[in-house]
């Protein structure tokens, strides 16, 4: 008998399954819709190559509506390792205020003081592992590019940041730091140190952990308000039922709510529209979609600039606070190494990102077909506060393009069209039309106290209306932290996996 079925071998699912299976009394099965590459030697290059994302070979093929005016691809990893196997390997944490605000919303187990041990436990920081706010023995190796390793445009970005008066930030994961410096990244050389490598490689030796790829979950099995397993489609198209004493849904902020809705948990009107029997009317599932609105300035650069599509896509970052804001480090600016394909004129871009987001989107079903992809509507910059911050961030980027060594590399601005002007009204219209995702979706199965009508799970990840069901991934975040979300998703898997390991009775195990 399977004790714990973990659905989704992404950042959180790998961590949770690895930690929970450290309890030899628990029989754990981890399944994923994508393929499982059991060895590093057998792992395809696109999953090893940390210099750039894997965009198509191991992707779900989703699209999304960042604004009401256009539709765009929305890459998500479909492979054991999830998006940690295909991403840019940015290993940033949120700041203490993020997690303390989660705690203030009725989730005291997620305060900074209580998440820091999990952050430390997951990492092996090669640069700052001796600091009390870092770890030096975890499964995910983190390092930063040294100055001599930076591409010329990244060296120029940091020099221009200094010229503009931004402080130096050698460790972006110093809890109280701000400024410009190297990105913390979970990579060594060119190798992407995904959760499939960091967590699962050593855990595969355990007799009580089974890992299966190419298992597409059609729906959860729910009987009398208890989740008893999942209906799974095998590679040959046959269907099997996997039964377990408890199910941990770790399919990510997009697919976790989709699986719940296909299982009859969600807004009754939406489920009935698609012919799905309503098990529980829970309108909040799929709502509260949070992400980071972003927009880039694309620049033509001189022929002497090194624009190499085989080089690292990103190496540096600026974290800072918008003028007049009461939310520390609510903006990011990132130098992107290249913005043109081979054979095109040399270009790079400078990306601006709103890190503290007020607006909310939603995820809804398009069909009861278990292979149908959902409708993802982010509604970026419909909230005036988000739009105003991104406008200010764009202005700050323009200052970079006109200052110091970075400006010396630029021959002209390709986007946005300089002839359209840079006044607030023009930029406001621009961000409302063209802002796009930082690809950090979360919040769609929100955790919170019983009195919160939007809270679907409690602070331990336990579903409020379905016994035996745990949700443990980015979907449970009340809102997106002020950082790329991969490390926070791993931390969620770490915390809940550890709770399952040491106190399985809380989860009915």
- 423 and 460 in a single domain? The answer is no
Residue 250 in any domain: the answer is: yes
308 band by pLDDT with thresholds 50, 70 and 90: confident
- 307 and 254 in a single domain? The answer is no
- 173 and 301 in a single domain? The answer is yes
- What pLDDT score does 389 carry? 98
Residue 478 in any domain: the answer is: yes
- What pLDDT score does 69 carry? 86
End residue of a domain, out of 389, 406, 434: 434
- What pLDDT score does 298 carry? 97
Rg (C-alpha) for the chain, rounded Å, is: 22
Nearest alpha carbon to residue 126 among 145, 153, 98:
145
Q: CA 51 to CA 86: how far, in whole Å?
A: 10
Q: What is the mean pLDDT of residues 275-301?
A: 97
Q: Number of helices (H) and strands (E), helices first, in the chain?
A: 13, 25
- 199 and 219 in a single domain? The answer is yes
Residue 389 in any domain: the answer is: yes
Q: Which two tokens stand for residue 302?
A: 């001189």
Residue 368 in any domain: the answer is: no
Q: CA 464 to CA 344: how far, in whole Å?
A: 54
- 392 and 277 in a single domain? The answer is no
Q: With 0-12 CB in 10 A as exposed, 13-18 as middle and 19+ as buried, what is 47?
A: buried
- Indicate the range of 247-256, 299-308, 452-461 predicted with least confidence: 299-308
At 135-188, the pLDDT tens digits run 999 999 999 999 999 999 999 999 999 999 999 999 999 999 999 999 999 999
Question: What's the CA dihedral at 60, 64, 66, 71 to 10 degrees?
Answer: 120
pLDDT reading at 214 higher than 90: yes
Look at the chain and report how many structural domains it folds into.
2
Q: CA 287 to CA 362: how far, in whole Å?
A: 5
Could you tell me the CATH number of the domain that includes residue 197?
3.50.50.60
75 band by pLDDT with thresholds 50, 70 and 90: very high
% of the chain with per-residue pLDDT over 70: 100
Q: Check the CA dihedral 15-16-19-24 and report its sign.
A: negative
- Residues comprising the chain, all counted: 509
- 311 and 452 in a single domain? The answer is no
Residue 369 in any domain: the answer is: no
Q: CA 241 to CA 509: how far, in whole Å?
A: 20
- 326 and 242 in a single domain? The answer is no
Q: What is the mean pLDDT of residues 265-290?
A: 98
More confident residue, 395 or 305: 395
Q: Residue 110 half-sphere exposure, CB side, CA atoms within 13 Å?
A: 31
- 276 and 306 in a single domain? The answer is no
pLDDT reading at 306 higher than 80: no
Residue 253 in any domain: the answer is: yes
Task: Assess contact for 352 and 436: CB atoms under 8 A.
Answer: no
307 band by pLDDT with thresholds 50, 70 and 90: confident
- 298 and 397 in a single domain? The answer is yes
pLDDT reading at 305 higher than 80: no
- 304 and 211 in a single domain? The answer is no
- Indicate the range of 8-17, 295-304, 401-410, 434-443 predicted with least confidence: 295-304
- What pLDDT score does 320 carry? 98
- 199 and 168 in a single domain? The answer is no
- Indicate the range of 68-72, 210-214, 379-383 predicted with least confidence: 68-72
- Indicate the range of 65-69, 94-98, 318-322, 365-369 predicted with least confidence: 65-69
- What pLDDT score does 340 carry? 81
Q: Which two tokens stand for residue 502?
A: 């040491």
Could you tell me the CATH number of the domain that includes residue 350?
3.30.410.40
Q: What is the mean pLDDT of residues 48-59?
A: 95
Task: Assess contact for 266 and 282: CB atoms under 8 A.
Answer: yes
- Average per-residue pLDDT for the chain: 97
- What pLDDT score does 344 carry? 85
Q: Is 349 helix (H, G, I), strand (E, B) or coil?
A: strand
Q: What is the mean pLDDT of residues 271-292?
A: 98
Task: Assess contact for 497 and 19: CB atoms under 8 A.
Answer: yes
Residue 206 in any domain: the answer is: yes
- 274 and 308 in a single domain? The answer is no
Q: Which domain holds residue 247?
A: 2-45+193-286+445-507
- E strand residue ranges, 42-194: 63-67, 70-73, 123-125, 140-144, 179-182, 184-185, 187-188, 191-192
């Amino acid at each position: 008998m399977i004790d714990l079925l973990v659905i989704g071998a992404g950042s959180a699912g790998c961590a949770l399954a690895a930690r929970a299976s450290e309890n030899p009394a628990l029989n754990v099965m981890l399944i994923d819709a994508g393929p499982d590459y059991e060895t590093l030697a057998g792992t395809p290059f696109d999953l090893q190559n940390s210099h750039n994302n894997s965009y198509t070979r191991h992707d779900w093929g989703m699209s999304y509506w960042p604004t009401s005016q256009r539709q765009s691809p929305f890459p998500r990893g479909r492979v054991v390792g999830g998006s940690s196997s295909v991403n840019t390997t940015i290993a940033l944490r949120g700041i203490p205020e993020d997690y303390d605000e989660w705690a203030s919303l009725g989730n005291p187990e997620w305060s900074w003081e209580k998440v820091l041990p999990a952050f430390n436990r997951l990492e092996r920081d090669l640069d700052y592992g001796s600091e009390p706010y870092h770890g030096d023995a975890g499964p995910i190796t983190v390092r930063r590019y040294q100055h001599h390793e930076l591409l010329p445009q990244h060296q120029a970005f940091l020099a221009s940041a200094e010229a503009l008066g931004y402080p130096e930030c050698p460790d972006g994961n110093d809890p109280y730091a701000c400024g410009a410096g190297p990105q913390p990244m979970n990579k060594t050389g060119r190798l992407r140190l995904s959760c499939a490598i960091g967590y699962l490689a050593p855990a595969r030796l355990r007799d009580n952990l089974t890992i299966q790829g190419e298992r597409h979950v059609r729906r959860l099995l729910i009987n009398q308000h208890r989740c008893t397993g999942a209906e799974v489609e095998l590679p040959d198209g046959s269907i099997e039922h996997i039964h377990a004493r408890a199910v941990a849904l770790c399919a990510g902020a997009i697919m976790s709510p989709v699986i719940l809705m296909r299982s009859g948990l969600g807004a009754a009107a939406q489920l009935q529209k698609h012919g799905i029997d309503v098990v529980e009317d829970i309108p909040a599932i799929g709502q509260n979609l949070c992400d980071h609105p972003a927009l880039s300035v694309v620049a033509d650069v001189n022929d002497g600039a090194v624009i190499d599509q085989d080089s690292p896509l990103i190496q540096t970052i600026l974290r800072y606070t918008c003028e007049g804001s009461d939310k520390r480090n609510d903006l990011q600016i990132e130098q992107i190494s290249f913005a043109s394909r081979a054979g095109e004129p040399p270009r790079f871009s400078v990306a601006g990102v709103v890190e503290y987001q007020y607006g909310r989107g939603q995820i809804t079903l398009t069909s009861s077909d278990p292979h149908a992809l959902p409708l993802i509507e982010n509604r970026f910059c419909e909230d005036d506060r988000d739009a105003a911050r991104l406008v200010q961030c764009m202005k700050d980027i323009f200052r970079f393009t006109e200052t110091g060594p970075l400006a010396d590399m630029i021959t002209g601005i390709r986007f946005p069209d300089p002839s359209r002007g840079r006044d607030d009204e023009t930029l406001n219209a621009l961000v409302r039309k063209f802002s796009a995702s930082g690809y950090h979706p979360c919040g769609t199965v929100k955790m919170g106290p019983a009195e919160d009508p939007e809270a679907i799970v409690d602070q331990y990840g336990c579903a409020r209306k379905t016994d035996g069901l745990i949700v443990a991934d980015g979907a449970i975040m009340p809102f997106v932290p002020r950082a790329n979300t991969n490390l926070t998703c791993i931390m969620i898997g770490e915390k809940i996996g550890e709770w399952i390991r040491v106190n399985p009775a809380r989860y009915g195990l």
